[in-house]
């Protein structure tokens, strides 16, 4: 595409100075300002002057503002979470949970993304983003949007969710609203259970300003010495071992209403009401709650670390002392206290977030856990995949025998994890004919039955290899602990390849059978974690296909030893072949569209950021190939732009389950391909991680996966749709105003129907 071929109809969408996602009063910018530094000047006819091949050899014919901004796109994702919290059609306690999820998401965003950006700016290594924004411009827009979103969260909580909870008999009250008799009970509770674990820290010449740990909730207390009239400052940290909200026992509640009503008071209110016991002889003048977010991203120089475990443990200690990147305070905080906190913590005005109490709405998870089935999503229990269901209910199915006959496609949480993947590992561990088990572990629960099964297998004399990723963000300490537990049991534990995170989800079972050694495999999109498997949507394949078995054997040998580079038959493996393999298949669809007119590309990922892949999708769209993108979070492609991406559609689905599977589809009709695996389309996944995609070959499974993506991309189910200017639009009503069905509910019903048919 040359400069002279740029369509005038295309120009308005690309010329816009800002794309935005707007809900209520919040506007999220999605592209860069049109300065001469960021966009090439236009000629007299208004068309783009293209980037020369020398300046950008990968895509010389594409406009420079073709990417949306990554960080702002992530904030748009968290705004979609807020929209679910605001939606009155969502069960009330689930709305409260979405408010808590928003807080947790934003915490991690500041701890990692904002902290990393500030560190790069401070060290002078930050560069202009692919969207064209300078680093400080990104930081400024993040600050503005994050402030707006936190105020939106406050409004949803105070004006919508909180009053609705009160109507259902669930209330969060302040100390002054607690009945006197209950205040006395809390006084006893304070003396016996709270007071002993508190550590008030004063600030004076003998006591410097204390270290404030990241994400801790604190009370800033102003004290007056009645003898001298001198003012003192003290800090009290809310003990993380105590509940965020304490339940009130209302003396006038009837037996009947007690079953349906619950009242809570914030922990900091109870502590604030008893400050006289912490500071006897002093007058409590003022008290305010505040919370600090710190840089908690890890940096481990693996090439210089003789022992990765020791290096990581040292870095975890350093994490606690990372510089502050955000300070949340009560909105009525006194100016001189604000000045003290800002000075001692070293935060700027832009890093301060003034919010109504209570702070830290992660605690709403405790409220959301209340046993009120009428205020939750309808009950759902995952059931055994029809291909693995036992013939007799009293006996467990022989999973290895089933897998020997045919591949089994799993779709969690609709298919039970415990009766499929977990049972596969457990049966292999107990099978006397199994010689070896090899598995990757990225995130799992501390009491994981999968880990227990590997330990049982090792103790039974089997060869067991666990490739443990101890650098899984925010799970590092847990992973270190159970990695050592595995080692002590005799499991061969390795930590993957230096410089790469091992993110692939693989399990290999080697079994001695009458006709020789046979390999059974699992390749999945999600972690071997039975807890998150009930909430995360993921896919996996159980297979005894010799090609997959050979592929996994070679890959595990690379991860555990010094095996040379290997060629794979049914796998694509990062960092060597996933990007190139996907680009090759995109090019094939372009050629197929030109020859037969039936090209197609479907992508389902958590995030789409990789510029090379996006440019390839632009080329496919320009060639007439329909491109469907189903993304949960970050998405920097611009869909629906004339002359660039008019054949690209982008949908997002959020709701009951967290969409987590990664799917890649190519073609229609004969010869179409379906791939599933662990890789998102991000630089870190394609360049700095060991990832694996597996090709699905059973026609019925391929059909099932294509059908899933087709459902999500249709207008028949609720979703969000992305426009070329960066605006996300929620589509949850039909043209006649009727609510659109939820895809998660539809899939629950569909899988239940499939199982009933299988039993007949």
CA distance 633 to 524: 20
DSSP state at residue 190 = I
What is the rounded CA–CA span in Å between residue 90 and residue 78? 17
Distance CA 386, CA 407 (A): 12
737 phi/psi in degrees, rounded to 5: 85, 5
Give the integer Cα–Cα distance in Å for 748 and 315: 43
Integer Cα distance of 267 and 283 in angstroms? 21
Helix/strand/coil for 304: helix
Burial of 588 (0-12, 13-18, 19+ CB in 10 A): middle
d(CA 621, CA 196): 65
**Between vectors from CA 313 to CA 311 and to CA 315, what angle results, nearest 5°?**
70
Q: Which of 274, 376, 503, 660 is catalytic?
A: 503
Element housing 284 (H / E): strand 283-294
Where would I find the beta strands (DSSP E) of 160-304? 170-172, 201-203, 217-224, 231-237, 245-248, 262-266, 283-294
Report strand pairing: 324-330 vs 352-355.
parallel
Helix axes 421-430, 449-459, angle to 10 degrees: 20
- Cα–Cα distance between 688 and 686 in angstroms, integer? 6
3-state SS of 1-18 is CCHHHCCHHHHHHHHCCC
- The H or E element containing residue 280 is none
Nearest to 742 by CA among 323, 297, 385, 378: 378
Q: Is there a catalytic annotation at residue 503?
A: yes
562: Cα separation from own chain's centroid: 33
The encoded tokens of residue 366 equal 């405790």
Cβ(619)–Cβ(593) under 8 Å?
no
CA angle 376, 381, 386 (to 5 degrees): 150
Asked if residues 82 and 152 have their Cβ atoms less than 8 Å apart, the reply is yes
Q: Which runs of E-coded beta strand occur in 317-397?
A: 324-330, 352-355
Rounded CA separation 711/744 (Å): 11
Enter the tokens of residue 239.
């003990």
Q: How many CB atoms lie within 10 A of CB 477?
A: 12
Dihedral of CA atoms 141, 144, 145, 146 in degrees, nearest 10, equals 110
- As a whole number of angstroms, the distance between CA 682 and CA 678 comes to 12
Residues classed as catalytic: 503
């Amino acid at each position: 595409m040359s400069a002279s071929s740029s369509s005038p109809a295309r120009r308005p969408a690309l010329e816009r100075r800002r794309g935005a996602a707007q809900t209520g009063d919040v506007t999220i910018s999605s592209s860069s300002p049109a300065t001469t530094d960021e966009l090439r000047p236009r000629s007299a006819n208004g068309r783009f002057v293209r980037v020369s091949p020398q300046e950008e050899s990968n895509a010389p014919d594409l406009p420079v503002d073709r990417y949306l901004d990554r960080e702002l796109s992530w904030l748009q994702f968290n705004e979609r979470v807020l929209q679910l919290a605001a939606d009155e059609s969502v069960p009330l306690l689930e709305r409260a949970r979405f408010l808590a999820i928003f807080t947790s998401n934003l915490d991690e965003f500041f701890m990692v993304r904002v902290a990393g950006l500030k560190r790069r700016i401070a060290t002078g290594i930050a560069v202009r983003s692919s969207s064209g924004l300078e680093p400080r411009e990104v930081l400024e827009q993040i600050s503005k949007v994050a402030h707006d979103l936190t105020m939106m969260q406050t409004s949803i909580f105070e004006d919508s969710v909180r009053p609705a909870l009160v109507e259902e008999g669930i209330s969060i009250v302040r100390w002054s609203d607690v009945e006197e008799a209950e205040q006395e009970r809390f006084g006893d509770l304070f003396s016996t259970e709270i007071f002993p674990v508190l550590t008030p820290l004063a600030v004076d010449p003998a006591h410097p300003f204390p270290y404030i740990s990241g994400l801790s909730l604190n009370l800033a207390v102003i004290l007056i010495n009645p003898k001298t009239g001198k003012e003192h400052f003290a800090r009290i940290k809310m003990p993380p071992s105590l509940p965020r909200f304490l339940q009130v026992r209302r003396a006038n509640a009837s037996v009947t209403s007690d079953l349906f009503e619950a009242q809570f008071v914030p922990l900091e209110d109870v502590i604030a009401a008893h400050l006289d016991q912490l500071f006897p002889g002093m007058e409590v003048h003022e008290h305010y709650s505040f919370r600090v977010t710190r840089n908690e991203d890890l940096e481990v120089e693996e090439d210089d670390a003789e022992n990765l475990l020791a290096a990581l443990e040292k870095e975890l200690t350093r994490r606690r002392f990372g510089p502050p990147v955000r300070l949340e305070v009560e909105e009525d905080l006194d100016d001189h206290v604000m000045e003290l906190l800002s000075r001692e913590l070293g935060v700027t005005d832009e890093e301060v977030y003034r919010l109504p109490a209570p702070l830290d709405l992660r605690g709403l998870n405790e409220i959301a856990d209340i046993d009120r089935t009428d205020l939750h999503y309808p009950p759902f229990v995952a059931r055994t995949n029809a291909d693995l269901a036992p013939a007799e209910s009293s006996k467990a199915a022989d999973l290895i025998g089933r897998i020997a006959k045919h591949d089994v496609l799993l779709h969690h949480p609709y298919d039970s994890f415990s009766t499929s993947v977990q049972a596969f590992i457990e049966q292999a561990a107990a099978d006397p004919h199994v010689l070896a088990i090899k598995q990757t572990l990225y995130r799992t629960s501390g009491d994981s039955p999968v880990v227990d099964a590997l330990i049982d297998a090792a103790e039974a004399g089997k060869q067991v290899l666990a490739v443990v990723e101890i650098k899984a963000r925010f799970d590092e300490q847990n992973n270190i602990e159970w990695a050592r537990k595995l080692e002590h049991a005799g499991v061969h534990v390795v930590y993957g390849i230096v410089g790469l995170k091992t993110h692939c989800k693989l399990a290999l079972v080697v079994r001695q059978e009458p006709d020789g050694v046979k390999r059974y495999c699992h390749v999945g999109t999600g972690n071997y974690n039975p807890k998150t498997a009930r909430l995360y949507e993921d896919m996996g394949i159980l297979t005894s296909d010799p090609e997959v078995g050979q592929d996994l054997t070679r890959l595990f040998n690379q991860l555990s030893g010094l095996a040379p580079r290997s060629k794979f038959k049914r796998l694509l493996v990062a960092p060597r072949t996933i990007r190139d393999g996907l680009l090759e298949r995109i090019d094939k669809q372009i050629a197929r569209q030109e020859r037969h007119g039936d090209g197609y590309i479907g992508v389902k990922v958590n995030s789409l950021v990789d510029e090379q892949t996006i440019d390839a999708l632009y080329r496919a769209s320009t060639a007439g190939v329909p491109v469907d993108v189903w993304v949960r979070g970050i998405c920097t492609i611009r869909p629906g732009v004339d002359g660039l991406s008019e054949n690209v559609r982008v949908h997002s689905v959020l709701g009951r389950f967290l969409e987590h599977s990664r799917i890649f589809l190519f073609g229609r009709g004969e010869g179409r391909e379906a791939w599933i695996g662990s890789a998102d389309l991000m630089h870190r996944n394609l360049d700095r991680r060991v990832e694996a995609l597996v090709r699905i070959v059973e026609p019925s499974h391929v059909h099932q996966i294509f059908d899933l993506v087709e459902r999500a991309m249709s207008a028949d189910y609720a979703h969000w749709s992305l426009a070329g200017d960066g605006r996300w639009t929620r589509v949850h009503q039909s043209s006649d105003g009727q609510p659109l069905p939820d895809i998660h509910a539809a899939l629950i019903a569909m899988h239940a129907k499939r199982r009933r048919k299988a039993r007949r």
